Structure 1
């Protein structure tokens, strides 16, 4: 199967350039990159060797989302081979940091981080609040590049991330 990677690999800020690179196991007649939330939002490349690159020169909020790269070996109608999905995170440094709280006995540091140190096998909920509309929350754990969970806020601007039956591996700063 093909694979898809982001360059830079972490999230990008509004206005930055990002390249989505589709790595192919064989020559392709057609390659397309589609944003899953907007299937009609696809970009195409034709007669590709082993890599197809798609770049957004000045990222906007609309570029954020889940992408898949697909390819066809022949120009004739046939099956599209798909990559696993890749999440493009676009951050806006003008947004105020969210308020973070922990719903469980444990350790809490001041600021926008929560340090988790609770008894094992209990459930823990980390809540994030922000009044800005049109934003999503990504829960990150220090030392991990990919978000642990993603969530859109409720009507009050709150997202609740629940970690079920926590273990020692879940301890850390979120």
Structure 2
């Protein structure tokens, strides 16, 4: 899994010259929430694949939908990504990861696990958390350009809606890389 996570970080780094911040935002499935129906759609109990003792050396499962349908896998994957990102030395000065896991909000952290209190929230949907991260980057860190890598239409729609507000904070450009693989 570490290879895949590093590939995402390298891909994000290559889009712009020397990005100042890279954020990894992961969706969560909190029990009795709106997102729980997505987990249920991905597979019933009988078809879920549980991975015990997940580590950075664990290969990415071939049946990803069955892997993601497991609450435990999703939680452990988020904690693993958070650990890798928080301890990885990268060419970028900061990498932040924000997750909501198992009815527990975990604060976004910088390299070295320094907490970013402004990004602490209980929003389980990564698309909605993107808004808080873009606001923080443009308002607090005075970033004038933001690049989002997401193939999610909801993400694009939310960012488009908030763009006039972001522009009042200092942001001049917001880009979204859309699609997957060769169709980006």
- Taking structure 2 as the reference length, what is the TM-score of the superposition? 0.23
**Pair member with larger Rg:** 1
TM-score w.r.t. length of structure 1: 0.24
Which structure shows the bigger proportion of residues in helix conformation? 2
The structure with more strand, counted as a fraction of residues: 1
